[in-house]
């Protein structure tokens, strides 16, 4: 997830670009660079390996002054972090480009361009784009046209910003699959991967849409959509309420974080999928090599992250046909294990500092696993630094102790991983396209569930004076039930247990009576008929049922059975969507009980102790 930033102004842009990069460092931090068109209409470039601070030092020693420039902080996907591979990339000495994303057909384009005499100085896919644009520039010396023509050849995901020193008064930007926002100034304009990068210079933003190309001048912004129509993109003001460290209009951080899910779930897939494919290299430069011969996956995590791992086991075994074990870190680290050959170690932690998970990772690195992959929300955390591959979730800071958006974004990251692994194990293109299409629908489906908040709040009244509850699910919904029960325990202090519904009759059914509400998640999968029989078992003992179900599942409301209809979702993505009503239910029960929702008793957010 690289970060790009650009500015066209009356003033020197170096400081604006550097500050933008510092604010984008959460997206990438293995190298950074900047290219500025100077007063003599020549491009000056600085690139450094490491953090933005290293670039800042380099620029202080050798300034790159000018009124227009582009800058980049990198998280390598093609080619190791090195100065040669750092952006901006140039074609000749007059054209420079920064890029966030992955060009899937870069090898084919690279061969073609090499045959035409273009020389490559990096291993990146980005340099291919630089030469491709330059090639088209030669035809009629028009940067805008050259970028537009080049776009027709690019497959994959990208946000691009391009400058040419012969056209020193504008830059051309475009996006497909990776985010790009235009910051609107007075007598100056900006672009960036994220509006946060530009807050020191503007609070007015235009969000480019997929396939857009834009001409950015200091006093003019012109945008065309993918069909070549001139379009206006509305200007929105940055609302401080949407700042992550602020509760805004919400009563609690937890509620705000539940409501952020459509946005952050989308952010976690953006740039990593096309319409129909997962971009494997978005998982890291070496992803293909490391995933190729994986014969077993060992997942390690704690708490909510452990539940995410349990969902992933269903995906990994079903889609990839690769055996997968899941274990809590505090157990794993204190026992002897037999490591099967070619096992991938996968650890999941929101903070990346969870003591037990970190200790397990450190053991694993000595123990002969094939490689370690981390799924994490905090860039630069210990887990991220110490793993071979990393998939960052894009949840933004999570402040409520009870995890919500971190969980659903972990699920998205795990599904991307499962599909990438499955591709090495015979997943058909059709099946991959079906899953990716289903993923694209998830943010909208989560919003639909949020619209049921009022009804769920109503439902929550039935739990207020209860001391115990059961949560049931089958298949990949069993871990969803576990996560629902954990949420209720954590913030409302009601004892909640989750069971695979088929286990009821082996014991817990003895507990069921009118004082024991039973919550069930029932998407319309092939286990639904079996689940309905389990519900009958509860009903026959006087238990009150609260069922979150797909309409097509045919669960009927009747006395003692409360049914909340959820949108129809694909079976694979259902765990992500079905988590949300359970979060809302716990939240409302806790509010009714008057507990401290954001900081429940006895618990801490980042568990950095054993």
In the complex, least distance from residue 99 CB atom to ligand HGA, rounded to whole angstroms: 5
> How far apart, in whole angstroms, are the C-alpha atoms of residue 486 and residue 500?
15
Output 74 or 370, the one with its CB closest to ligand HGA: 74
**C-alpha closest to that of 469 among 450, 503, 502, 492:** 492
> How far apart, in whole angstroms, are the C-alpha atoms of residue 527 and residue 360?
35
Considering only 26, 29, 75, 137, the residue that binds ligand HGA (CB under 6 A) is 75
Output 281 or 298, the one with its CB closest to ligand HGA: 281
Helices (H), 451-521: 453-460, 477-492
Q: Is 499 in the site for ligand HGA (CB under 6 A)?
A: no
> How far apart, in whole angstroms, are the C-alpha atoms of residue 218 and residue 8?
5
Q: Which stretch binds ligand HGA (CB under 6 A): 122-130, 134-142, 303-311, 563-571?
A: 122-130
State both tokens at 312. 């992933």
Q: Which stretch binds ligand HGA (CB under 6 A): 121-129, 426-434, 522-530, 549-557?
A: 121-129
**C-alpha closest to that of 487 among 349, 586, 607, 575:** 586
Output 101 or 168, the one with its CB closest to ligand HGA: 101
How far is C-alpha 236 from the chain's CA centre?
23
Considering only 100, 393, 460, 583, the residue that binds ligand HGA (CB under 6 A) is 100
DSSP-assigned letter for residue 76: -
Q: Is 78 in the site for ligand HGA (CB under 6 A)?
A: yes
Q: Which stretch binds ligand HGA (CB under 6 A): 74-82, 260-268, 308-316, 334-342?
A: 74-82
Task: State how far the alpha carbon of 223 is from the alpha carbons of 128, 152, 201, 449, in Å.
Answer: 24, 17, 21, 34
**C-alpha closest to that of 369 among 406, 341, 405:** 341
Considering only 14, 77, 261, 403, the residue that binds ligand HGA (CB under 6 A) is 77
Q: Are 490 and 484 in contact (CB under 8 A)?
A: no
Output 193 or 492, the one with its CB closest to ligand HGA: 193
Q: Are 248 and 242 in contact (CB under 8 A)?
A: yes
Q: Which stretch binds ligand HGA (CB under 6 A): 123-131, 196-204, 324-332, 371-379?
A: 123-131
> How far apart, in whole angstroms, are the C-alpha atoms of residue 540 and residue 556?
15
**By beta-carbon distance, which residue lies closest to ligand HGA?**
2
Output 96 or 310, the one with its CB closest to ligand HGA: 96
Binding mask 16-55 for ligand HGA (x = CB under 6 A): ------------x---------------------------
Helices (H), 62-157: 106-115, 126-140, 143-151
In the complex, least distance from residue 469 CB atom to ligand HGA, rounded to whole angstroms: 42
Considering only 44, 73, 124, 351, the residue that binds ligand HGA (CB under 6 A) is 124
Torsion of Cα atoms, 96 then 211 then 443 then 279, to 10°: -60
Q: Is 125 in the site for ligand HGA (CB under 6 A)?
A: yes
In the complex, least distance from residue 126 CB atom to ligand HGA, rounded to whole angstroms: 5
Cis peptide bond upstream of 109, omega within 30: no
Considering only 1, 113, 360, 422, the residue that binds ligand HGA (CB under 6 A) is 1
The helix-helix angle for 453-460 and 574-593 (nearest 10°) equals: 50
In the complex, least distance from residue 338 CB atom to ligand HGA, rounded to whole angstroms: 36
With residues binned 3-state (H G I as helix, E B as strand, rest as coil), the percentages for the chain, rounded to 5, are 40, 25, 35
Considering only 23, 45, 47, 99, the residue that binds ligand HGA (CB under 6 A) is 99
Output 28 or 543, the one with its CB closest to ligand HGA: 28
Considering only 126, 202, 377, 460, the residue that binds ligand HGA (CB under 6 A) is 126
Q: Is 481 in the site for ligand HGA (CB under 6 A)?
A: no
In the complex, least distance from residue 274 CB atom to ligand HGA, rounded to whole angstroms: 14
Q: Which residues are the active-site residues?
A: 2, 605
> How far apart, in whole angstroms, are the C-alpha atoms of residue 416 and residue 429?
14
Considering only 16, 102, 395, 522, the residue that binds ligand HGA (CB under 6 A) is 102
Q: Are strands 495-500 and 468-473 parallel, antiparallel or unpaired?
A: parallel
User: Can you list the pairs that 541-544 forms with residues at least 24 positions away whose Cβ atoms lie under 8 Å?
Assistant: 541/509, 541/512, 541/513, 542/512, 542/513, 542/514, 543/470, 543/512, 543/513, 543/514, 543/516, 543/517, 543/518, 544/462, 544/514, 544/516, 544/517, 544/518
Output 63 or 379, the one with its CB closest to ligand HGA: 379
State both tokens at 528. 């639904």
In the complex, least distance from residue 4 CB atom to ligand HGA, rounded to whole angstroms: 8
In the complex, least distance from residue 137 CB atom to ligand HGA, rounded to whole angstroms: 21
Report 501-540 residues binding ligand HGA (CB under 6 A): none
Q: Which stretch binds ligand HGA (CB under 6 A): 62-70, 93-101, 411-419, 463-471?
A: 93-101
In the complex, least distance from residue 580 CB atom to ligand HGA, rounded to whole angstroms: 28
Output 99 or 313, the one with its CB closest to ligand HGA: 99
In the complex, least distance from residue 193 CB atom to ligand HGA, rounded to whole angstroms: 9
Binding mask 541-580 for ligand HGA (x = CB under 6 A): ----------------------------------------
User: Binding residues for ligand HGA, per CB under 6 A?
Assistant: 1-2, 28, 74-78, 99-102, 124-126
């Amino acid at each position: 997830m690289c970060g790009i930033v650009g500015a066209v102004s009356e003033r020197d842009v170096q400081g604006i670009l550097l500050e933008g990069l510092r604010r984008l460092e959460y997206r990438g931090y293995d190298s950074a660079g900047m290219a500025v068109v100077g007063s003599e209409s020549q491009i000056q470039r600085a690139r450094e390996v490491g953090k933005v601070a290293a670039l800042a030092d380099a620029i202080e020693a050798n300034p790159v002054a000018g009124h227009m420039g582009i800058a980049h902080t990198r998280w390598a996907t093609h080619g190791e972090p090195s100065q040669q591979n750092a952006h901006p990339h140039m074609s000749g000495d007059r054209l420079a480009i920064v890029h966030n994303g992955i060009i899937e057909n870069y090898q084919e384009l690279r061969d073609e361009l090499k045959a035409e005499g273009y020389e490559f100085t990096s291993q990146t896919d980005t340099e291919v784009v630089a030469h491709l644009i330059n090639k088209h520039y030669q035809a009629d010396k028009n940067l805008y046209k050259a970028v537009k023509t080049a776009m027709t050849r690019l497959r994959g995901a990208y946000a691009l910003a391009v400058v040419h020193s012969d056209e020193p008064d504008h830059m051309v930007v475009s996006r497909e699959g990776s985010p790009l926002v235009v910051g609107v100034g007075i007598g100056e304009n900006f672009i960036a991967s994220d509006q946060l990068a530009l807050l020191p210079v503007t609070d007015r933003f235009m969000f480019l849409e997929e396939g857009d190309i834009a001409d950015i001048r200091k006093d003019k912004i012109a945008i065309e959509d993918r069909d070549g129509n001139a379009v206006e993109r509305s200007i929105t003001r940055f609302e401080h309420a949407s700042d992550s460290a602020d509760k805004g209009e919400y009563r609690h951080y937890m509620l705000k974080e539940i409501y952020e899910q459509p946005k952050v779930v989308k952010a976690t897939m953006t740039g990593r999928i096309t319409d129909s494919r997962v971009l494997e290299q978005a998982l890291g430069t070496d992803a293909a090599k490391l995933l190729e011969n994986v014969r077993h996956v060992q997942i390690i995590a704690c708490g909510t992250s452990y539940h995410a791992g349990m969902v992933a086991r269903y995906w990994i075994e079903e889609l990839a046909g690769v055996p997968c074990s899941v274990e809590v870190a505090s157990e794993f680290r204190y026992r002897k294990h037999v490591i099967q050959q070619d096992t991938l170690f996968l650890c999941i932690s929101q903070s990346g500092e969870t003591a037990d998970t970190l200790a397990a990772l450190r053991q694993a690195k000595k123990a002969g696993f094939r490689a370690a992959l981390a799924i994490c929300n905090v860039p630069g955390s210990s887990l991220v630094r110490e793993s071979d591959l990393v998939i960052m979730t894009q949840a933004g800071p999570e402040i409520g102790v009870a995890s919500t958006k971190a969980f659903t974004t972990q699920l998205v990251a795990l599904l991307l991983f499962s599909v990438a692994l499955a591709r090495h194990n015979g997943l058909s293109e059709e099946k991959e396209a079906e899953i990716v299409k289903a993923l694209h629908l998830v943010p909208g489906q989560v919003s639909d569930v949020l619209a049921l908040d009022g009804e769920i709040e109503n439902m929550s009244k039935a739990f207020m004076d209860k001391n115990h509850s059961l949560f049931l699910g089958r298949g990949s919904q069993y871990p969803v039930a576990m996560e629902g029960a954990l949420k209720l325990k954590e913030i409302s202090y009601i004892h909640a247990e989750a069971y695979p519904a088929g286990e009821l009759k082996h014991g817990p059914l003895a507990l069921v009576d009118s004082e024991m509400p039973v919550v069930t998640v029932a998407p319309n999968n092939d286990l639904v008929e079996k689940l309905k029989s389990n519900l009958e078992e509860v009903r026959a003992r006087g238990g009150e049922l609260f069922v979150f179900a797909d309409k097509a599942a045919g669960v009927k409301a009747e006395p003692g059975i409360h049914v909340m209809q959820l949108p129809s979702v694909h079976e694979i993505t259902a765990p992500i969507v079905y988590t949300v009503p359970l979060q809302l239910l716990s939240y409302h029960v806790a509010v009714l009980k008057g507990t401290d929702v954001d900081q429940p008793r006895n618990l801490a957010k980042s568990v950095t102790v054993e």
